[in-house]
Amino acid sequence: MHVKNKAATALSVVACVFLVTLTVCNEKACSHVHDTSAVIFFVLYLVYMAFVCAFLSAAVDQHARSVNLITRASLRLKQGIAAANFTSLALLGIFSSLGWSAHANKIALCEWAAVLLILAFNFSFFHEFSGTSVAVIQDLPSVPDPSADHPRGAYAPLAAYAESDEF
């Protein structure tokens, strides 16, 4: 695996650890842990989105005349979602610095916009993977074709052995 891919994967895993911390901690009981975890999650996931967009942009440029791994339209969609997420998080930071109580609704709107944009970023990959199988099971050994193999059980039909020399 490429070093950049490992870095992006590590960022996403660490971001998810902070997402778990954010969801486990009650906002009213320990708000500083909740808020810190939320900030770290959103920032790390934004950096992950930037890594992915950079990788895909390089892939589009490198394979412009050969196999298309991703379309330019799909890349632009992902870049637009990442830019909108950056804007949402910047507004979240601005409203938070101006006072939580005065801008609570705007802050909540920015948080939910960031969450929905992260989901939209991940769902945008359906376009690339809509016609393929799950990538995880591609490395598993294939199941042998049972019709090409003679049955070897005690209850195997005798017709299968009639063609062989064993019968």
SS (H, E, C) the chain: CCHHHHHHHHHHHHHHHHHHHHHHCCCCCCHHHHHHHHHHHHHHHHHHHHHHHHHHHHHHHHCCCCCCCCCHHHHHHHHHHHHHHHHHHHHHHHHHHHCCCCCHHHHHHHHHHHHHHHHHHHHCCHHHHCCCCCHHHHHCCCCCCHHHCCCCCCCCCHHHHHCCCCC
Summarised one tens digit per residue, pLDDT across range 34-70 is 888 888 889 999 999 998 888 888 877 766 554 556 7
What is the pLDDT, as a whole number, of residue 68?
59
- CA 46 – CA 53 distance, rounded (Å): 11
Lowest mean pLDDT among 14-18, 60-64, 100-104: 60-64
Q: Exposed, middle or buried by CB within 10 Å (0-12, 13-18, 19+), for 143?
A: exposed
What is the pLDDT, as a whole number, of residue 135?
45
Taking 60 as the threshold, does the pLDDT of residue 119 lie above it? yes
Summarised one tens digit per residue, pLDDT across range 60-97 is 776 655 455 677 888 899 999 999 999 999 998 899 88
- Cα 95–97–98 angle (5° rounding)? 65
For residues 35 and 25, the answer to whether their CB atoms sit within 8 Å is: no
Paired tokens of 53: 């967009």
What is the pLDDT, as a whole number, of residue 18?
85
What is the pLDDT, as a whole number, of residue 162?
52
Inter-CA distances, 115 with 38, 52, 91, 98, 103, Å: 11, 17, 14, 22, 18
Lowest mean pLDDT among 23-32, 92-101, 150-159: 150-159
Q: Domain residues of the chain, as ranges?
A: 3-132
Mean pLDDT of the chain: 75
